[in-house]
Amino acid sequence: MNHQNLPHPQGVGIAVQDLKKRLGPNQALDGVTLNFQAGLMHGLIGPEGAGKTTLLRTLLQLLKPNSGTILYEDEGKATPFTDLRPSIAYMPQQQSLYADLSIGEHLEFFKELYSIPEAEYQQKSEELLKITRLDKFIDRPAGNLSGGMYKKLGLMCSLLRSPRVLLLDEPTNGVDPISRREFWDLLYRLADQKILIIIATAYLDEAERCAQVHLIESGRTLAEGEPRELLKLEGVPNFDALFIARSKRKEGPHATHT
Amino acid sequence: MQPTLNAAVSVTELGVDFGNFKAVNQVSFSVAPGEIFGFLGANGAGKTTTIRVLCGLLIPTRGTVTVAGIPYLSEESADRIKEKVGYMSQKFTLYNDLTVAENLNFTASLRKLERTYYLKRKKELFDFITFDKPESTMVKDLPGGMKQQVSLAASMLHNPEIIFLDEPTAGVTSAAREKFWSLIKSLAKNGKTIFVTSHYMDEVEQCDRIALMRSGELIALDSPKGLKESTFPHPLYELTPKRKIPYSEIEALRSPDYFDSFQAYGLRFHASPRTAQSWNEFLMRYSEDFDSQIIQPTLEDVFIRLVEGQNR
């Protein structure tokens, strides 16, 4: 892995060591070890059932792992999760927005929920509406938004309180290519603000767009690193080929069970 | 498998109105038997409406539609069309709480298939998808890829001539995706017509031809290669920032001084210079800031260029 182009660690970083989590009959996480470096955009890439959502929920301490450790760091110093919790925003796969509330009403609602000071709210909401290009639709109820707009509203609500860590679970699933690029454009702006972004996605072509990718299958890490370097190292043209090559190599006593 | 001499699907000046809203307008195309035809568009472009017409679920407001040689004129013709088409969607095709056998039995009874014919088809299709689990397996216990293949088998029980696939491989493993596409290609080779919609641009690369819809109209129709060449007659560059470039500077590059299009691609950019001269001017000013290389456009580049180009 070549880190020479990476910025110095600043902000929040998370290190995951040999994490295991059983959900009913499934071993959702089967010894995941990962390092999320501060200030970078990380892609958690893998098919449905790979363990991406479970990992995100474990990072958020919504789920307790059966074994393994998660270390949180702030500016290079170990920090308890509870201190960081207010700085972490999470956008789940099934975002629960209120169908009857408009975009504007959602922003107001989340302002109250997060107790955001009025002046800060005004500036932030204006900026978010502009960059998401949702300003023209401020009175439209969430129930009448297209898939892409709905996802953007969800992201906007998560960003209102200026998080330092952003966990996104399949934010572009079912979204058309135009909205998908707009969404990634938005993420670029955030990466600019030195936020740690972890984005889980089943779209393999999105892997290339991250600073670091972590390929996950059957609750384990198949490969990780800077996307282009990984492909070069493996001598494969794309991540589909990389997944296939790595899964084959891993087959054996722990054959894939997703 | 009865390949017809005529087109599998033929649509001429199709129009569908919902009240005053023209969901589909003046759309014409035809699909050859055995063709893998990709049907793309932004959300709300009229894809689903068109597919509902082609499956015999919605009578068109205007235009003529012929599916598997049957002109779509009335409810009666709709019923005949339904016998010739199969439909598989990522979201819902199988009941999770039923076994594989129960799901197929249910589909067979909906299709009113004669029992011996059904059992013969089931065996053929299980062989085709190389299904190696007990039929008594609950669908919810199948791996994603296998569920998708059983779903394909269910949509083909009545041996349709045309199969509609709606985002067929969303979320499955790469290996399952590879197998699914090899199944699709083998079906097409044997004369089945495949009509695919997907937001996965790398997936639709495998189609013979692609139609692109925008605001109810057809704006492009060609092979993936043809679409790339006609949409990007000049080179497309990938620019990789050599330093952290603030977003405001990126925004400035979006002005039409240098580029026809300038799109973020993760932490890189895909840029199509306006002219050779504007590219040189860009290089003179910014070569310290970006590494650049000529790249083959992806279908996503094409999609965005075509749809946004028409927005200007």
One domain, residues B123 and B194? yes
pLDDT of residue A28: 94
What type of residue is A250?
K
One domain, residues B120 and B186? yes
Structural domain span for residue B55 = 9-228
> For residue A185, which residues of chain B lie inside 8 Å, CB to CB?
263-264
One domain, residues B140 and B273? no
* Rg value, chain A, Cα: 19
pLDDT of residue A255: 42
One domain, residues B161 and B99? yes
The full DSSP string for B139-177 is GGGS-HHHHHHHHHHHHTTT--SEEEEESTTTT--HHHH
Residue with the larger pLDDT of the pair A256 and B201:
B201
Q: How far is A80 from chain B (nearest CA, A)?
A: 30
A116 secondary structure, DSSP code: -
Pull the structure tokens for residue B310.
């028409």
pLDDT of residue B310: 53
User: Distance (Å, rounded) from C-alpha B3 to C-alpha B275?
Assistant: 47
Contacts 24+ apart (CB under 8 A), B2-5: B2/B161, B2/B191, B3/B33, B3/B34, B3/B191, B4/B33, B4/B68, B4/B69, B4/B161
| A6 pLDDT above the threshold of 50 | no
Confidence of residue A251 (pLDDT cuts 50, 70, 90): low
Confidence of residue A4 (pLDDT cuts 50, 70, 90): very low
One domain, residues B150 and B273? no
Question: Considering only CA atoms, which of B174, B230, B161, B222 is closest in space to residue B202?
Answer: B174
- Domain assignment present for residue B312? The answer is no
Sign of CA dihedral B46, B47, B49, B54: positive
> For residue A146, which residues of chain B lie inside 8 Å, CB to CB?
43-44
Report how many domains make up chain B.
2
User: Distance (Å, rounded) from C-alpha B34 to C-alpha B92?
Assistant: 25
Asked which of B175, B203, B228 is the last residue of a domain, the reply is B228
In 3-state terms, what secondary structure has residue A210? coil
One domain, residues B83 and B124? yes
Confidence of residue B1 (pLDDT cuts 50, 70, 90): very low
Asked if B173 and A256 come within 8 Å (Cβ–Cβ), the reply is yes
Residue-averaged pLDDT of chain B? 90
Phi/psi at A228 (nearest 5 deg)? -65, -35
How much is the average pLDDT of B303-312?
73
- Domain assignment present for residue B18? The answer is yes
Smallest Cβ–Cβ distance between B266 and the set A147, A208, A256 belongs to A208
Instruction: Pick the residue of B173, B178, B219 with the most A CBs within 10 A to test the interface with A by mutation.
Output: B173
pLDDT digits (tens, 9 = 90+) for A197-210: 999 988 888 888 89
Residue-averaged pLDDT of chain A? 86
- Domain assignment present for residue B174? The answer is yes
Model ipTM?
0.75
Asked which of B186, B209, B228 is the last residue of a domain, the reply is B228
One domain, residues B52 and B196? yes
Q: How many CB pairs under 8 A join A and B?
A: 109
- Domain assignment present for residue B28? The answer is yes
- Domain assignment present for residue B2? The answer is no
pLDDT of residue B105: 96
B244 touches chain A (CB under 8 A): yes
- Domain assignment present for residue B311? The answer is no
> For residue A204, which residues of chain B lie inside 8 Å, CB to CB?
174, 202
Min mean pLDDT across A116-120, A200-204, B37-41, B66-70 is at: A200-204
> For residue A7, which residues of chain B lie inside 8 Å, CB to CB?
244
How much is the average pLDDT of A19-31?
93
Phi/psi at B69 (nearest 5 deg)? 80, 0
pLDDT digits (tens, 9 = 90+) for B90-100: 766 799 999 99
One domain, residues B216 and B252? no
One domain, residues B153 and B265? no
pLDDT of residue B170: 74
How much is the average pLDDT of B8-14?
96
Smallest Cβ–Cβ distance between A188 and the set B172, B247, B307 belongs to B247
Min mean pLDDT across A82-86, A98-102, A214-218, A246-250 is at: A246-250
- Domain assignment present for residue B310? The answer is no
How much is the average pLDDT of B179-201?
93
Asked if A247 and B174 come within 8 Å (Cβ–Cβ), the reply is yes
User: Distance (Å, rounded) from C-alpha A9 to C-alpha A13?
Assistant: 8
Asked if A188 and B266 come within 8 Å (Cβ–Cβ), the reply is yes
Give the side-chain half-sphere CA count within 13 A for A44: 29
What is the longest distance spanned by two Cα atoms in chain B? 74
Asked which of B170, B204, B228 is the last residue of a domain, the reply is B228
| A61 pLDDT above the threshold of 90 | yes
pLDDT digits (tens, 9 = 90+) for B267-297: 789 999 988 999 999 999 898 999 999 999 9
One domain, residues B50 and B84? yes
pLDDT of residue B4: 41
One domain, residues B288 and B163? no
Pull the structure tokens for residue A123.
């500036």
A180 touches chain B (CB under 8 A): yes
Q: How far is A65 from chain B (nearest CA, A)?
A: 23
> For residue B172, which residues of chain A lie inside 8 Å, CB to CB?
47-48
- CATH number, domain of B90, equals 3.40.50.300
- CATH number, domain of B286, equals 3.30.70
One domain, residues B185 and B280? no
pLDDT digits (tens, 9 = 90+) for A121-179: 999 999 889 888 889 899 999 998 877 788 889 989 988 988 999 999 988 877 788 88
Length of chain A: 258
| A258 pLDDT above the threshold of 70 | no
| B3 pLDDT above the threshold of 50 | no
- Domain assignment present for residue B220? The answer is yes
